[in-house]
Amino acid sequence: MRLRPAGVLAALVLLLSGCGIGMPGWVPWLGKQDAPSAVATPAPHNPNLLDTPKPGDIRQRPTEDNEELSDRIIAVVNNDAITLNELIESIAVYRAENRQQAGGPTDEELRRESLARLIDSRLQLQEADREKIQVEDTELNEEFLERIKRYGVSTEEEFDTLIRAQGVTLDSIKKRLRDGIKVSKLLRRKVALRVSVTEDEISQYLEENRGKLETGLSYHARHILIPPEDDSDTGWEAARIKAGILRSQLTDGADFTELARQHSRDASAKDGGDLGTLKRGELAQDVEGAILGLKPGQLSQPFRSPLGYHVFRLESKEGLEGEGLVRIRQQIRDILFRQKYETRQEAWLKEIKQRAIIEVRM
């Protein structure tokens, strides 16, 4: 598949979005990440006071009218400048990723949040440089080739041809990728390696959230549906009797699949009454209760629903034991790791901000 020229910019924006500084890809992710906090509101500038910047300060001053628009410096982080052009690109990335979501932030909120992300990114890159973290060319090339393959481009030369038409260079893209890898390494050293989850913590979470965890388990069942000929009491009674007769035949060894194909009036009849694999909560609560109350291989008594009488057979179900328990415990480990990671990362970012001098010029 080749990218159409009109879609190159959108693909490029998505490519660049992968370079944003945040949670690295190897960190387990469950649920939606919260939006970064906005830049703290700076105190009003008073030229009559001594105004020597101090670590932890976030200062603000108006921009100079004669500054070139795209190169205008909008923030300085420890003498490292952030330009208006960088902010515009950051906002474009966000909008490309969230273009189909309703109720997003206002333009002003998006501007502030994007600037906050840029400041956090610059602080982390500075820390990575202080830690002398390096990115090998082989690491960068592997990451670059993996990302461009997502957009139907197989070689660097082919991608270079496409993006040059948009006035973008490979060097600028690779710099962003290199920065992203560098910060991922830093976060692993400063945050991830200092987070651990114990088996006791997993067991405690399991017991406290057992009900919620069970709703994510699956089960597999079949059924035969016998609807009434009409809505009279006689029609419903006849349906119940027929369902009871079929259940007796199944108890005596009849093949469920064949009886379902012959007698069931549900769309699943052609598949031998197979309802497939279901997640808990997909069916009506009373129907699901009748099925999950069975043991694997067990038949239900004729069960009445608004559609008629059913005979269910439970094929299998996941539970909080065996392989299901192993899978659930791993999910819990990921959840707890994520929570601890975010707490640790937030504290670490706060720590490096307190040592920094940040000046906002917007």
Chain segment 338-359, per-residue pLDDT in tens: 999 999 999 999 999 999 999 9
Predicted confidence band of residue 70 (pLDDT cuts 50, 70, 90): low
pTM given for the model: 0.60
User: DSSP label at 24?
Assistant: -
Mean pLDDT over each residue of the chain, to the nearest integer: 82
Close Cβ partners of 70 (under 8 Å, ≥ 6 residues apart): 83, 84, 85, 88
Task: Spell out the CATH class of 218-317.
Answer: alpha beta
According to DSSP, the β-strands at 80-83 and 218-226 are: unpaired
Calculate Rg over the CA atoms of the chain. 30
Mean local confidence (pLDDT), 158-166: 74
Would you state the structure tokens that stand for residue 3, as one six-digit string? 């990218």
Asked if the model's pLDDT at residue 196 lies above 80, the reply is yes
218-317 shares the fold of 5-198+337-360: no
pLDDT category at 21 given cuts 50, 70, 90 is very low
Q: Which residues of 336-360 are buried (b: 16+ CB within 10 A; e: fewer)?
A: bbbebbbebbeebbeebbeebbbbb
Mean pLDDT, residues 115-127: 94
Task: Single out the residue of 82, 78, 55 nearest to residue 129, CA to CA.
Answer: 78
Place of tokens 């609807």: 227
Asked if 182 contacts 140 with a C-beta cutoff of 8 angstroms, the reply is no
**Dihedral sign for Cα atoms in the order 170, 173, 179, 183:** negative
Q: Is 110 helix (H, G, I), strand (E, B) or coil?
A: helix
By the 8 A CB rule, do 125 and 183 touch?
yes
| Cα end-to-end span (Å), the chain | 43
Q: Tell whether the model's pLDDT for residue 229 goes beyond 90.
A: yes
- Any idea where the domains of the chain sit in the sequence? 5-198+337-360, 218-317
The sign of the torsion formed by the CA atoms of 251, 253, 257, 259 equals: negative
Among 1.10.443.10, 3.40.50.150, 1.10.4030.10, 1.20.140.10, what is the CATH number of 5-198+337-360? 1.10.4030.10
**Token duo for residue 313:** 């057979």
pLDDT, position 42: 45
Distance CA 9, CA 112 (A): 24
